Amino acid sequence: MTDRLPHALRSDALDNRERILEAARALFAEGLDVPMREVARRAGVAPATLYRRFPTKEMLVTEAFAEQMHACRAVVDEGLADPDPWHGFCLVIEKMCELQAHDRGFTAALISTFPNAVDFEARREYALTAIDELARRAKEAGRLRPDFVLDDVLLVLMANSGIHAASPTTQVTASRRFAALAISAFQASPDVPPLPPVVRLAPQASVPKRNQPG
């Protein structure tokens, strides 16, 4: 009987951790400027419990988005490894839209900067730099339109997050059609008029250097 109590405690602690991360992801999906107290309230734990597990908000952000960032890295690595850069680029758009159709926190993770969350920033920077490199190669191959910029990927991901379908299955189907439309839009074509001005969606600090003017 004595070994049961610690086990129960561990399992409670695990539940708390999952509850906190779930609450954090749900709240962060709307933006990262949520007070820690609100995360605790939503998770149904005492603020002290939250701070014991995640002493700083940076740690909470990094943990909350760890899985998404891991999935994101796998997707961009797969894209970069593709011998056809346009094919790799399309794969990244498709898979990212699909990841997002399953988890709305995904865009927030890619768009927000959080300078003190070193791990989080490094992973995000890695993903954005990889997409930027893939885009450079796809442009060189003449398949990606020359006026594409990295922020267009964020624009598409934000837009994808606006698609709400009646069921999870319809959500994925809708997202798939939307990703295909986005890919069509990005494809280089002699007939297509140039795009209107770029919008900076990712905060300056996060955009890889080579994308900046000058």
83 binds a copy of itself (CB under 8 A): no
189 binds a copy of itself (CB under 8 A): yes
Among 152, 153, 202, 207, binds a copy of itself (CB under 8 A): 152
87 binds a copy of itself (CB under 8 A): no
> Does residue 186 contact residue 148 with C-beta atoms inside 8 Å?
yes
What separation in angstroms does the CA of 129 have from each of 54, 83, 121, 150, 203? Answer: 29, 18, 12, 9, 14
195 binds a copy of itself (CB under 8 A): yes
144 DSSP β-pair partners: 187
Phi and psi at 39, nearest 5°, equal -60, -45
Q: CB of residue 195 vs a copy of itself: minimum separation in angstroms? A: 5
80 binds a copy of itself (CB under 8 A): no
Among 8, 47, 184, 210, binds a copy of itself (CB under 8 A): 184
Cα(128)–Cα(19) distance, integer angstroms: 29
Helices within 45-149 (DSSP H only): 47-53, 57-64, 66-81, 85-102, 105-111, 118-140
Nearer to a copy of itself, 102 or 177 (CB): 177
Q: What is the maximum alpha-carbon separation in the chain? A: 76
Quick one: tokens of 207?
């955009």
Stretch that binds a copy of itself, among 14-22, 45-53, 119-127, 189-197 (CB under 8 A): 189-197
Among 161, 202, 206, 207, binds a copy of itself (CB under 8 A): 161
| Positions in the binding site for a copy of itself (CB under 8 A) | 145, 152, 155-156, 158-165, 170, 173-174, 176-178, 180-182, 184-187, 189, 191-193, 195-201
